[in-house]
Amino acid sequence: MNARKLLYVDRRVIYLLVAIGALVPIIRPIGLPTVPTKPVQQLFNKIESLGPDDTVIISFDYGPSSEPELNPMAQSILRHCFQRRVKVLVMALFPLGGVNMAIDQLQAVADEFDDINYGVDFVNLGYKDGAQAAMKRMDISIESLFPADVNGDPTKDMPIMAHARNYDDIAVVISLATGIIGEYWVNLVNAQFGVPVAVGCTAVSAPKYYAYLRAGQMMSLLGGLKGGSEYEKLLVDKYEFARELYEQPEIKITSAMAGMDVQSIVHVIIIVFIIFGNTMYFIMKRQEKAR
């Protein structure tokens, strides 16, 4: 056996196997079980404890590159809030498409609920530049920072704004973040103004948030597709409407639970390759020593 030859296998072989590993579960879903973890459960419990008199901020702090990981998370959290009739302020502090993600996701989810009204139960405040400066300003007045919503309509006439004067009225801030904006919410809004903050982030940025989570500066962390799938699982287990919704093919295919099938297979392929590579590495070293 030529270990050296196997060790330097053509990278196209790896690409091909990853492509097959990603495609097969999309065509034939496996439906692997999902077990919710404590950090995800904490946000679910928090929203469960809220009602029509409570207001939450959902900040779309990500762009299209993080869409596959964070869209399912955004949808399940919005569905949960609307189901509980919690008032939702949607905003975007990420410049590269955050507001467009917000428009897209909000529109898709709000259409599923007949008895919620724009300006009363939810509002899209649009994009504001200068993330930290905007966050600081919201402690004084949210309406003064967003005098008009995403459509250009004045916010001062909207009933929802009476429930969202400043951070004193906000039950929790949920930042769906790529990059540093999630950290700003934690180390500015939580640390200075004491507002509970939950962050839903891509899997690659999750490690840095564990320091804040352990320190109690964050009440919850939803890391990547796994975090999203755990939230969906909690929603599906609790609510009949969610169970039916996530059975619909067009929603099922884009859900985090379906995405976990793909992630699982690709992770296994990578792990197998790592183990195979190391085995070949040691065999090659032994062969070279023997020579």
Burial (CB < 10 A; 0-12, 13-18, 19+), residue 125, is: buried
Whether the Cβ atoms of residue 214 and residue 207 lie closer than 8 Å to each other? no
Among 113, 193, 239, 273, binds another protein (CB under 8 A): 273
**Residue 63 binds to another protein (criterion: CB under 8 A):** yes
**Residue 15 binds to another protein (criterion: CB under 8 A):** yes
**Residue 278 binds to another protein (criterion: CB under 8 A):** yes
**Residue 214 binds to another protein (criterion: CB under 8 A):** yes
**Residue 83 binds to another protein (criterion: CB under 8 A):** no
Q: What part of residues 108-167 is at the interface with another protein (CB under 8 A)?
A: 124, 126-131, 133-134, 136-137, 140, 144-145, 150-152
Among 3, 108, 191, 270, binds another protein (CB under 8 A): 270
**Residue 3 binds to another protein (criterion: CB under 8 A):** no
**Residue 200 binds to another protein (criterion: CB under 8 A):** no
Among 147, 277, 286, 288, binds another protein (CB under 8 A): 277
**Residue 65 binds to another protein (criterion: CB under 8 A):** yes
Is the CB of 140 or the CB of 162 nearer to another protein?
Answer: 140
CA–chain centroid gap for 143, Å, is 26
Single out the segment in contact with another protein by CB under 8 A; choices: 77-85, 169-177, 213-221, 248-256. Answer: 213-221
Q: What part of residues 179-198 is at the interface with another protein (CB under 8 A)?
A: none
**Residue 274 binds to another protein (criterion: CB under 8 A):** yes
Buried b (16+ CB within 10 A) or exposed e, 196-216: bbbbbbbeebbeebeebbeee
Residues that bind another protein (CB under 8 A): 9, 11, 14-15, 17-19, 22, 32-35, 37-38, 63-68, 95, 97, 99-100, 103-104, 124, 126-131, 133-134, 136-137, 140, 144-145, 150-152, 203, 206-208, 210-211, 213-215, 224, 226, 260, 263-264, 266-271, 273-274, 276-278, 281-282
